[in-house]
């Protein structure tokens, strides 16, 4: 799952009992079939009729016809169907048949975050972007909890006339649940049902209603209405508000509660197809499919059709960090979002010996429990007790006490459970492991202290005859430093499928984000009790993609004529790379400065993105030329581009992207790389810019010309950037450490600054 609530999942698996149909014929499978529409016989009035006729002409020895699932109108030319081996053989011989792919499965991959992003109702992106007014965001996710306060439509004008979507009735969902905020809700489950998943309450709803809560969280993060006093059991109290609070939301449910196969490619394609047909302006997907070449990845295929219609597509980068080459959703037409922390922390104060020592630790334990003058237990001298390993604690020793332990690298949940099993009152764990940023670990009164503070605790216990503690929970720390940091789970570049494009594109908030939740499901288990809440803290790149799409909605509202690539360029060239201590953004995993392979161009900065000065634009044909450059076959390119005719005489891997990456390894002999770029002025006046380069070590970067001028809005200027590599020095010695620097265009006598990372990385 892309949203990191592993522990909850364990509970989920125990609680769930999704019945599986055992009667599925062995050789039946669900397939996505790509067709060449230009070969459709004239006798058919629509391609849908053509496909149905093909399917009805096919038969098996047992007399069965194939079952049609979806006809796709936008994302691809073709359909999905349940076919036997015999059907497959017949289908492959039919005229117009292009390719077939077996269905695949993907997985899921905020009160203060708007403030952290610098959004202000009186100045900057919020008023300039009209709070996202009349921009429609499609959220492709687990559905929606329509009663949430975050989806109230107070003060919103009528639904835009151009909207063609619908609010589908279904299980516990009535079309009357939509309003001027939530303007559409649909559900797509045919593909998953073919896998034998029976979707029935109370395990999930076969309707747009959100069971899991993930879609409600992402939708309210992107465009939730303001809700006063939202909080997670007292933490993070404040007004919860989406990034584009006046934007409209349409929910497309393609993810269902099922750990292994949460989302079928056939359903995801159907959801994206419908979102395009309905008229969304932007889409966000917080899920990922296994990384394959782009024509086999439903999100890459669907997103290509979307951007062709001017729809901006933002996706989660994945939670497979901190190793390199772990990106999801890295197609160059997608805007790929990594996760960073915000400047808010959740804490507990621990006082030892009635005041001898006080330490602030991290905790999101959700109860206002009074712990005062309680005995402390530490099994020092016995390693298994020090680590609270399974069955190491004796209930006789620890009952009613607070246990102190050291974190065991492979422990975490199991250590917390051991403390619980032994009947202790709570625990203090010494650890700098990031796993403890997840609320789902706090099933007992638990405080996590740094190893340095842990040593002080140990010292106190050893020296004290009768060690005791007081603990005060429910402390929210604002303005914590340094922030942002790159979350260690955030997937890192380069992107396997196209490493010559730097990914992720940008970083956005994705750690302990407070947003709306489906209050159906016990969220946190405290002993035997599941606590329910309307708002929840979640972490993951799932949370960062909706932040980015919210900012993109503000930009789209202010600049309706900007292409998806222009919006991405504005987000990238204005992103910041320094944290709130004015130091380099740190990688939480290593504790040292992160690189563009971790954060892309940097952390999004909505107020600056509104007015980037210049943009690097990309047209659809450029992406086709890029696929040609990747040596994709004409069949692969036809599938992605839905064009029956195209040529590859302009093959070009050097997309007009606002970032630069050079790939090196021990076999590299090339020492010079040239990037060709075109800048477009998006300001309503003439302007002049001068290039400056922060040279990456071991590289010599030269920009020609180093000064560019623009006659007016939309006037363009070309430049070439040459990177000379000193292979002895710049060659990355280990797989993921790259040297990096920046190219910055400074406006002469103006304020615009257009910045791009230049990075070298290890080539696989």
Residue closer to ligand NAG by CB (options 65, 421) is: 421
Residues 693-732 that bind ligand NAG (CB under 6 A): 704, 718-720
d(CA 272, CA 69): 15
d(CA 251, CA 11): 27
Report if residue 169 touches ligand NAG, rule: CB under 6 A. Answer: yes
Per the annotation, the verdict on 542 as an active-site residue is: yes
Owner of token pair 């879609």: 215
The CA distances from residue 282 to 4, 319, 484, 507, in Å, are 25, 23, 26, 18
Residue 258 makes contact with ligand NAG by CB under 6 A? yes
Q: Does 748 bind ligand NAG (CB under 6 A)?
A: yes
Distance CA 605, CA 133 (A): 20
CB of 105 to ligand NAG, least distance (A): 7
Q: Which stretch binds ligand NAG (CB under 6 A): 254-262, 311-319, 539-547, 551-559?
A: 254-262
The residue annotated as part of the active site, out of 36, 77, 141, 210, is: 141
Contact window for ligand NAG (CB under 6 A) among 212-220, 379-387, 489-497, 598-606: 379-387
Least distance from ligand NAG to the Cβ atom of residue 477, Å: 27
In the complex, minimum distance from the CB of residue 584 to ligand NAG, in angstroms, rounded to a whole number: 26
Q: What is the bridge-based pairing of β-strands 182-187 and 248-253?
A: parallel
Which residue stretch of 83-91, 259-267, 501-509, 582-590 sits at the interface with ligand NAG (rule: CB under 6 A)? 259-267
Residue 384 engages ligand NAG in binding (rule: CB under 6 A): yes
Stretch that binds ligand NAG, among 117-125, 195-203, 447-455, 619-627 (CB under 6 A): 195-203
Query: 141 an active-site residue?
Result: yes
From the candidates 34, 47, 74, 214, give the one annotated as an active-site residue: 214
Q: State yes or no: residue 23 binds ligand NAG (CB under 6 A).
A: no
State the Cα–Cα distance between residues 460 and 36, nearest whole angstrom.
75
User: By the 8 A CB rule, do 623 and 655 touch?
Assistant: yes
In the complex, minimum distance from the CB of residue 478 to ligand NAG, in angstroms, rounded to a whole number = 31
Contact mark string toward ligand NAG, 307..336, x via CB under 6 A: ------------------------------
Q: What is the DSSP letter of 209?
A: B
Residue 142 · residue 255 · CB < 8 Å:
yes
Count residues contacting ligand NAG (CB under 6 A)? 44
Which residue reads 């499928």 in tokens?
497
Beta strand pairing call for 468-478 and 78-83: unpaired
Of 9, 16, 28, 98, the residue at the interface with ligand NAG (CB under 6 A) is 16
Given 61, 669, 684, 751, the residue binding ligand NAG (CB under 6 A): 669
Considering the rule CB under 6 A, would residue 667 count as an interface residue with ligand NAG?
A: yes
Residue 61 binds to ligand NAG (criterion: CB under 6 A)? no
Of 630, 648, 683, 753, the one binding ligand NAG (CB under 6 A) is 630
Tokens found for residue 117: 């992003």
Q: Which of 488, 542, 641, 687 is the catalytic position? A: 542
H or E stretch covering 108: strand 105-108
284: nearest Cα among 562, 547, 561? 547
For residues 114 and 298, which CB has a smaller minimum distance to ligand NAG in the complex? 298
The answer to whether 550 and 221 are in contact (CB under 8 A) is: yes
Q: CA-CA distances (angstroms) from residue 636 to 88, 104, 613, 630?
A: 19, 17, 37, 11
CA angle 112, 221, 757 (to 5 degrees): 80
Query: Residue 577 — φ and ψ, nearest 5°?
Result: -120, 5
Question: Which CB atom, from 382 or from 621, has the smaller least distance to ligand NAG?
Answer: 382
Per CB under 6 A, the list member of 118, 127, 160, 196 interacting with ligand NAG is: 196
* Shortest distance, position 134 Cβ to ligand NAG, whole Å: 26
Asked if 382 touches ligand NAG (CB under 6 A), the answer is yes
For residue 132, the SS3 value is: helix
Rounded-to-integer distance, Cα 511 and Cα 490, Å: 10
Minimum CB–partner distance for residue 10 and ligand NAG (Å): 11
Contact between 122 and ligand NAG (CB under 6 A)? no
| Stretch of 133-141, 194-202, 226-234, 598-606 lying at the interface with ligand NAG (CB under 6 A) | 194-202
| Residues 725 and 741: beta-carbon distance below 8 Å | no
CB 525 within 8 A of CB 512: no
The distance of closest approach from Cβ of residue 669 to ligand NAG in the complex, given in angstroms and rounded to an integer, is: 4
Residues 534-553 that bind ligand NAG (CB under 6 A): none
DSSP string over 210-274: -SSSHHHHHHHHHHPPPEEEEEETTEEEEEE--SSTTSEEEEEE---S-SS--EEHHHHHHHHHH
Q: Rule CB under 6 A: is residue 751 a binding residue for ligand NAG?
A: no
| Residue 387 contacts ligand NAG per CB under 6 A | yes
Angstrom CA distances, 656 to 465, 533, 568, 625, 626, stand at 69, 46, 12, 12, 10
Distance from C-alpha of 109 to C-alpha of 98, rounded to nearest angstrom: 31
Which member of 80, 84, 274, 408 binds ligand NAG (CB under 6 A)?
408
CB 77 within 8 A of CB 34: yes
Binding segment toward ligand NAG, per CB under 6 A, in 11-19, 146-154, 155-163, 603-611? 11-19
Tell me, yes or no, if 46 is annotated catalytic.
no
> Under the criterion CB under 6 A, does residue 176 sit at the interface with ligand NAG?
yes
Say if residues 165 and 184 touch (Cβ distance below 8 Å). Answer: yes
State the minimum distance, in angstroms, from the CB of residue 197 to ligand NAG.
5
Residues that bind ligand NAG (CB under 6 A): 13, 16, 18, 20, 169, 174, 176, 195-197, 258-261, 354, 373, 382, 384-385, 387, 389-390, 392, 394, 408-411, 414, 468, 630-631, 666-667, 669, 676, 688, 704, 718-720, 733, 748-749
Q: Which residues are catalytic?
A: 141, 214, 542
């Amino acid at each position: 799952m892309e949203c990191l609530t592993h522990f909850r999942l364990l509970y989920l698996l125990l609680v769930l009992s999704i019945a599986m149909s055992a009667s599925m014929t062995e050789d039946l499978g669900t397939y996505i079939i790509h067709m060449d529409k230009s070969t459709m016989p004239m006798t058919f009035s629509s391609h849908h009729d053509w496909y149905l006729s093909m399917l009805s002409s096919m038969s098996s020895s047992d007399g069965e016809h194939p079952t049609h699932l979806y006809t796709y109108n936008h994302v691809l030319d073709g359909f999905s169907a349940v076919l036997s081996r015999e059907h497959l053989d017949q289908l492959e011989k039919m005229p117009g048949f292009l390719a077939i792919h077996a269905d695949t499965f993907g997985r899921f991959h905020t009160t203060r975050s708007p403030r952290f992003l610098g959004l202000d109702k009186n100045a900057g992106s919020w008023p300039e972007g009209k709070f996202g007014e009349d921009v429609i965001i499609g959220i492709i996710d687990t559905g929606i909890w329509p009663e949430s306060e975050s989806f109230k439509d107070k003060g919103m004008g009528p639904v835009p006339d151009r909207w063609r979507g619908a609010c589908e009735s279904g299980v516990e969902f009535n079309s009357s649940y939509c309003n001027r905020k939530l303007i559409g809700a649909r559900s797509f489950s045919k593909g998953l049902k073919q896998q034998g998943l029976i979707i029935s309450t109370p395990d999930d709803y076969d309707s747009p209603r959100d069971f899991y809560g993930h879609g409600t969280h992402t939708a309210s993060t992107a465009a939730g209405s303001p809700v006063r006093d939202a909080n997670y059991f007292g933490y993070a109290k404040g007004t919860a508000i989406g990034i584009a609070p006046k934007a409209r939301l349409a929910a497309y449910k393609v993810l269902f509660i099922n750990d292994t196969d949460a989302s079928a490619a056939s359903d995801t394609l159907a959801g994206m197809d419908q979102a395009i047909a309905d008229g969304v302006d932007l889409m966000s997907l917080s899920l990922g499919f296994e990384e394959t070449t782009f024509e086999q990845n439903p999100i890459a295929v669907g997103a290509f059709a979307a951007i062709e219609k001017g729809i901006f597509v933002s996706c989660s980068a994945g939670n497979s960090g901190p190793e390199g080459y772990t990106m999801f959703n890295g197609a160059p037409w997608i805007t790929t979002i990594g996760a960073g922390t915000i400047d808010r922390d959740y804490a507990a104060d621990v006082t030892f010996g009635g005041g001898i020592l006080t330490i602030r630790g991290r905790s999101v334990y959700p109860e206002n429990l009074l712990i005062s003058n309680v005995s402390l237990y530490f099994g020092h001298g016995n390693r298994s007790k020090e680590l609270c390993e399974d069955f190491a604690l004796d209930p006789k020793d620890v009952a009613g006490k607070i246990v102190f332990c050291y974190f065991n690298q492979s422990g975490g949940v199991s250590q917390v459970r051991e403390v619980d099993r032994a009947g202790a009152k709570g625990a203090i764990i010494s650890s700098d492991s990031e796993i403890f940023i997840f609320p789902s670990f706090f099933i007992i009164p638990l405080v996590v202290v740094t190893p340095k503070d842990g040593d002080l605790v140990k010292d106190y216990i050893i020296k004290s005859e009768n060690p005791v503690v007081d603990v005060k929970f429910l402390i929210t720390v604002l303005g914590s430093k340094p922030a942002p940091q790159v979350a260690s789970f955030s997937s890192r570049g380069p992107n396997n499928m196209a490493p010559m494009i730097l990914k992720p594109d940008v970083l956005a908030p994705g750690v302990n984000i407070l947003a709306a939740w489906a209050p159906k499901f016990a969220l946190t288990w405290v002993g035997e009790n599941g606590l329910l809440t309307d708002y929840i803290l979640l972490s993951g790149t799932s949370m960062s993609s909706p932040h980015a799409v919210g900012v993109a909605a503000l930009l789209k509202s202010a600049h309706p004529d900007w292409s998806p690539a222009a919006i991405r360029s504005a987000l990238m060239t204005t992103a910041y790379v320094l944290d709130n201590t004015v130091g380099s953004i740190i990688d939480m995993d290593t504790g040292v400065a992160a690189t563009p392979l971790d954060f892309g161009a940097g952390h999004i900065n909505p107020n600056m993105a509104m007015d980037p000065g210049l943009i690097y634009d990309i047209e659809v044909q450029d992406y086709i030329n890029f696929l040609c450059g990747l040596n994709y076959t004409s069949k692969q390119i036809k599938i992605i581009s839905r064009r029956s005719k195209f040529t590859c005489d302009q093959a070009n891997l050097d997309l007009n992207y606002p970032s630069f990456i050079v790939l090196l390894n021990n076999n590299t002999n090339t020492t010079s790389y040239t990037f060709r770029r075109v800048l477009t002025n998006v300001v309503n006046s003439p302007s002049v810019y001068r290039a400056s380069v922060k040279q990456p070590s071991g590289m010599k970067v030269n920009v020609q010309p180093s000064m560019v001028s623009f006659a007016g809005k939309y006037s363009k200027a070309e430049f070439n950037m040459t990177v000379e590599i000193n292979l002895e020095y710049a060659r990355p010695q280990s797989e993921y450490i790259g040297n990096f620097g920046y190219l910055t265009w400074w406006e002469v006598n103006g304020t615009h600054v257009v910045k791009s990372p230049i990075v070298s990385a290890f080539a696989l």
